Amino acid sequence: MPRLTRITIYPIKSLDGYAVDAADLMPTGPIVGDRRWAIVNPMRQFVNGKRTPAIHPIRAAFEQNAAVVTFHHPNLEPASFELPAAVDRAGEWLSEAIGRKCLLIENQAIGFPDDADASGPTLVSVSSLERVAEWFGLELDEVRRRFRTNLEIDATEPFWEDRLVATDTGPTPFTLGDVLLRGRTPCQRCAVPSRDSLTGEIISGFAKAFSAHRQAELPAWAPADAFNHFYRLTLNTSLDPTHAGAMTLRLGDELHVTA
């Protein structure tokens, strides 16, 4: 069975992540610290890569378990901020980089997941990312930055994770190590994967081409009814409500489907 080969935490929604050897899950499902912070405007609306291409040139590096972030931008001096103590100053730096007033806000309870009903870590096989890289002539790490997935497994077949998509009988239960999770929907994508992760430059027709490739190569094991469109990649998950054991994922954990 596949094993867990990469864990990535994204402390600030829409910015860079960092790889770890192990990660704890919150009782609500997400990885501790993942999408804990979000960039918003004064109306508390998200300022993210979907709507704001100016996000893309910002790089973020994390230290001390993400308690310190260092921002980089081609037009600004790098700056480091301790969170949450310097959250206001961090917001000011981001405002200058993005070109409009921004705030950095926090949600320790659940973070800011894209899908609140399936707020567990997202999962993909490395072979799926490599296949997408082939479609568009991209490097593997560039595809990683575009799709921003928490967990990668070493399944040899592209789109192996489609085996875990929920069917008409409900979510698909599986274990990673000692953690019991449920496979939910294949994640629908936005404009972000179509853009260069460093410059924001767009691949024209990306979504249409991606969908055509995905439909043509949809594995026989994928529940076709779950794909009302084919601009989807990676698996949304949730923590199984019956889970009462360990809450830590580690590199090397083996994945077993328990249905």
* 54 pLDDT above the threshold of 80: yes
User: Of 84, 106, 128, at which residue does a domain stop?
Assistant: 106
Decide: 143 and 6 in contact? Cβ < 8 Å: no
Same domain? For 152 and 188 the reply is yes
pLDDT tens per residue, range 64-111: 999 999 999 999 999 999 999 999 999 999 999 999 999 999 998 889
In the three-class reduction of DSSP (H, G, I as helix; E, B as strand; rest coil), residue 91 is classed as: helix
* Ramachandran category for residue 177: left, alpha or beta (phi over 0 → left; psi -120 to 50 → alpha): left
Nearest-angstrom CA–CA distance, 198 and 55: 9
User: Of 47, 78, 106, at which residue does a domain stop?
Assistant: 106
Q: Is 60 among the domain residues?
A: yes
Same domain? For 87 and 124 the reply is no
* 28 pLDDT above the threshold of 80: yes
Nearest-angstrom CA–CA distance, 127 and 134: 10
Decide: 234 and 5 in contact? Cβ < 8 Å: no
Q: Is 236 among the domain residues?
A: yes
- Give the pLDDT of residue 244: 79
Both tokens of residue 111? Answer: 């973070």
* 17 pLDDT above the threshold of 90: yes
Respond yes or no on whether the N-terminal peptide bond of residue 84 is cis (omega within 30° of 0).
Answer: yes
pLDDT tens per residue, range 138-154: 999 999 999 999 999 99
At what angle are helices 140-147 and 126-136 packed, to 10 degrees?
A: 110
Quick one: which of 193, 13, 9, 195 has its CA closest to 103?
13
Q: Is 2 among the domain residues?
A: no
Decide: 154 and 2 in contact? Cβ < 8 Å: yes
Nearest-angstrom CA–CA distance, 177 and 238: 15
Give percent of the chain with pLDDT exceeding 70.
100
Q: Is 11 among the domain residues?
A: no
Q: Is 227 among the domain residues?
A: yes
- Give the pLDDT of residue 115: 83
- Give the pLDDT of residue 51: 86
Q: Which residues contact 132 (CB under 8 A, 6 or more apart)?
A: 138, 143, 147, 210, 233
Average pLDDT over every residue of 183-197: 95
Distances (CA, A) of 28 to 32, 43, 51, 121, 217: 10, 26, 28, 11, 34
Q: Give the gyration radius of the chain's Cα atoms.
A: 18
* Count of structural domains, the chain: 2
Same domain? For 153 and 88 the reply is no
Same domain? For 241 and 151 the reply is yes
Query: Within 13 Å and on the Cβ side, how many CA atoms surround 107?
Result: 17
- Give the pLDDT of residue 50: 85
Average pLDDT over every residue of 15-43: 96
In the structure, what pLDDT confidence band is assigned to residue 246 with cuts at 50, 70 and 90?
confident
* 259 pLDDT above the threshold of 80: no
Average predicted confidence (pLDDT) for the chain: 95
In the three-class reduction of DSSP (H, G, I as helix; E, B as strand; rest coil), residue 181 is classed as: strand
- Give the pLDDT of residue 168: 87
